[in-house]
Amino acid sequence: MDSFNRQNLTAIIKGSHVSEIDRKCLSSGIDSKWLMNNAGTKVSDYIAAYFGAPTENEGPFVIDDIEMKKYPLNKSNKCEIKGTVVCGGGSNGGDGFVCAINLLKQNYIINLYCLIPVDKLTKDSAFYFSELKQLKDEAKLQNLNIYFISEDFEKDIRIFKENLKNSRFVVDAIFGTGLHENEIRGFAKEIIGFINEAKENNKNLKIFAVDIPSGIDSDNGKVLGTAISADFTITFGAKKLGIVSYPGVYHAGKIEVADIGIPQKLYEEYENIYEANFEWVADKIPKRTPQSYKHSVGKLLVIAGSLGFTGAAAMACEAAMRAGAGIVTLVCPWELNFIFEVKLTEVMTLPVEQTEEGSLHFNAFSEILAESERYDALAIGPGVSRNPSTVRLIREILKKIKKPTVLDADGLKALAGPMDTEDDELYNLKHVIITPHPGELASILSRVNIGSENRLEANMEASKKFNAVSLLKGSGTIITNMEGVNFINPTGDFALATAGTGDILTGIIGSLLCQGMNLTDAAVCGAYIHGLSSDIISKKTGKASLIATDLLEGIKHVFLEIEKLKY
């Protein structure tokens, strides 16, 4: 990956690494109480900012020779905001205690629930619970009630439900990143159920999860029997794989990454998974000069379309033009050329020999090879069909034309099924981005299916098998390159679940390739632009009403914003 740097990239790690990172922090002299104070303070800051309450503080104070952020007890500013803070016994619960302390000092009304006895709290959590208790006793706070819930909590259910009903927000500090595999049982499961039920009954109730919603496996996003459905997740240092993977991402709501003082280099020692943001994408888009002209900004050859699937080819071409290609030419079956002449105004066509079924014939290879010399990149696959002659043609193109290429849709059939000896080159596609959906990925990996919990692993396998960049489409699109660097795309949602949106993506990526972007950057930026186009335009169309060609309008808006940063 050319000029790879992590600026404007958010690290993503498995939650199971958090405890190891914490140990490395301690061994380097970073105090765990300081980290816990920072974590809880970030949560309280976020809540205070959301509700518009004051967040001023007196600066650092010292506990055990550790500088910590301190909120003064604010007696002059009356605050009527009520909240429920639910804490477990681990570090996550300790973060919740710190959050409660800070909110109390801003005169929030807090009902705090602790799910285990004080003598079972971890050392740091017990420290902050004692701070909380001391604050209540010394200041005689009327805005704090502390409850303990145990297995025998039937008598407390009514009060708990009543407090939830009267709350403006809930802080979920029950379970953190250490929860894996085993499903939640017992009264903790019921507590989570009551919180979610309160949210269903009161849409104005806001749930803030500390680091990760309780009940989500932080390594893969699996719901462990039940899970908090948060409106906001304030996660620390790096995003956890469990809240960017499905179904965990459904429970996370809006995710805020908070710096709590852990050195960023510690996160870089693990998965090599990242999330791009808009600034990173905008920076990667090639900048044009006053002397730029159509031949200099990129020429794309699109190989697509068959009888009954002219729309797929047309959308890929139109998307490529919208994403900045200077020239786009479509290679199409000769009998369909007149259709494309009507459909496509800005795109040129090259009609070639076709099969009896109206798809591209293998005999067209020599003509395509000669034509490709004039182009900077290729986009192959939308609507080409699975005709054996067409599949053979695509295999030959992949082996003999080594220009940057995006391979999608039916074109992926060339990588599935039995291969001849002369097809060994198809396992060394350094010039290719493949863009399968889970079904297509399962086919080229000879699997029955690809489950949501193993999407990352399967995409890494595909990248390694074909020595190509692999982009696995779907909720949380994953991009993996040949060096084992992974990206999870943060844009787009179910609005893209409509025919033709994949063809639009192919056109965008092909356009970025012909403009000179390397494979990884083109795949990551293409997925980001594609999803953001949907996010923007679906506000006008509605998510369910969006159709693929609506994205063409969305692409215009995305590039308008990109150009505001670049020029």
Structure confidence at residue 270 (pLDDT): 84
Give yes or no for a contact between 169 and 85, defined as CB atoms under 8 angstroms apart: no
Q: Which of 40-54, 209-223, 224-238, 516-530 has the lowest mean pLDDT?
A: 40-54
Q: Is 323 helix (H, G, I), strand (E, B) or coil?
A: coil
**In sequence order, which residues have a C-beta less than 8 Å from that of residue 188 and are 6 or more positions away?**
88, 115, 174, 175, 214
Residue among 245, 329, 323, 241 nearest 286 (CA) = 323
Structure confidence at residue 138 (pLDDT): 78
Q: Which of 164-173, 267-276, 459-468 has the lowest mean pLDDT?
A: 267-276
CATH superfamily of the domain spanning 290-446+455-566 = Ribokinase (3.40.1190.20)
Vertex 536, ends 534 and 540: CA angle to 5°?
Answer: 100
Question: How far apart (Å, rounded) are the C-alpha atoms in residues 308 and 146?
Answer: 67
Which residues in the chain are classed under CATH 3.40.1190.20?
290-446+455-566
Confidence bin at 524 (pLDDT 50/70/90): very high
Vertex 494, ends 492 and 499: CA angle to 5°?
Answer: 100
* More confident of the two residues 187 and 140: 187
* Integer CA distances (angstroms), 181 to 174, 196, 456, in order: 17, 21, 18
Strand 9-13 and strand 273-276: the pairing is antiparallel
DSSP labels for 184-208?
P-HHHHHHHHHHHHHHHH-TT-EEE
Structure tokens at 150: 């145990």
Structure confidence at residue 53 (pLDDT): 56
Structure confidence at residue 62 (pLDDT): 42
Structure confidence at residue 63 (pLDDT): 42
26: left (phi over 0), alpha (psi -120 to 50) or beta: alpha
Q: Is the pLDDT of residue 48 over 70?
A: yes
The sheet carrying 348-352 orders its strands as 239-240, 9-13, 273-276, 486-488, 478-480, 469-472, 432-434, 405-407, 377-380, 299-303, 327-333, 348-352
Confidence bin at 152 (pLDDT 50/70/90): low
CATH superfamily of the domain spanning 9-259 = YjeF N-terminal domain (3.40.50.10260)
Mean pLDDT of the chain: 91
Per residue in 49-96, pLDDT (tens digit) is 998 855 444 444 444 444 555 555 555 556 679 999 999 989 999 999
Question: How far apart (Å, rounded) are the C-alpha atoms in residues 245 and 476?
Answer: 7
Cis bond leading into 490, ω under 30°?
no
The sheet carrying 206-210 orders its strands as 144-148, 109-114, 82-87, 169-173, 206-210, 232-236, 254-258
Amino acid in the structure at residue 270: Y
Confidence bin at 1 (pLDDT 50/70/90): very low
Residue among 561, 472, 564, 559 nearest 523 (CA) = 472
Question: How far apart (Å, rounded) are the C-alpha atoms in residues 370 and 373?
Answer: 6
Average pLDDT over residues 518-533: 98
Which residues in the chain are classed under CATH 3.40.50.10260?
9-259
Average pLDDT over residues 428-442: 96
Give yes or no for a contact between 226 and 175, defined as CB atoms under 8 angstroms apart: no
Structure confidence at residue 196 (pLDDT): 97
Please count the other Cβ atoms lying within 10 Å of the Cβ belonging to residue 133: 14
DSSP labels for 281-316?
HHHHSPPP-TT--TTTS-EEEEE---TT-HHHHHHH
Question: How far apart (Å, rounded) are the C-alpha atoms in residues 535 and 547?
Answer: 13
Structure tokens at 511: 């356009």
Residue among 127, 134, 126 nearest 105 (CA) = 134
Per residue in 279-291, pLDDT (tens digit) is 999 999 999 999 9
Please count the other Cβ atoms lying within 10 Å of the Cβ belonging to residue 251: 25
Average pLDDT over residues 523-545: 97
Separation of first and last alpha carbons in the chain: 25
Structure tokens at 304: 């697509």
Average pLDDT over residues 109-115: 93
> Looking up tokens 């709590």, which residue turns up?
260
H, E, C per residue of 153-175: CHHHHHHHHHHHHCCCEEEEECC
Give yes or no for a contact between 237 and 262, defined as CB atoms under 8 angstroms apart: yes
Structure confidence at residue 38 (pLDDT): 96
Question: How far apart (Å, rounded) are the C-alpha atoms in residues 516 and 192?
Answer: 50
Q: Is the pLDDT of residue 166 over 60?
A: yes
Q: Is the pLDDT of residue 324 over 90?
A: yes
Question: How far apart (Å, rounded) are the C-alpha atoms in residues 537 and 535?
Answer: 6
Structure confidence at residue 417 (pLDDT): 78
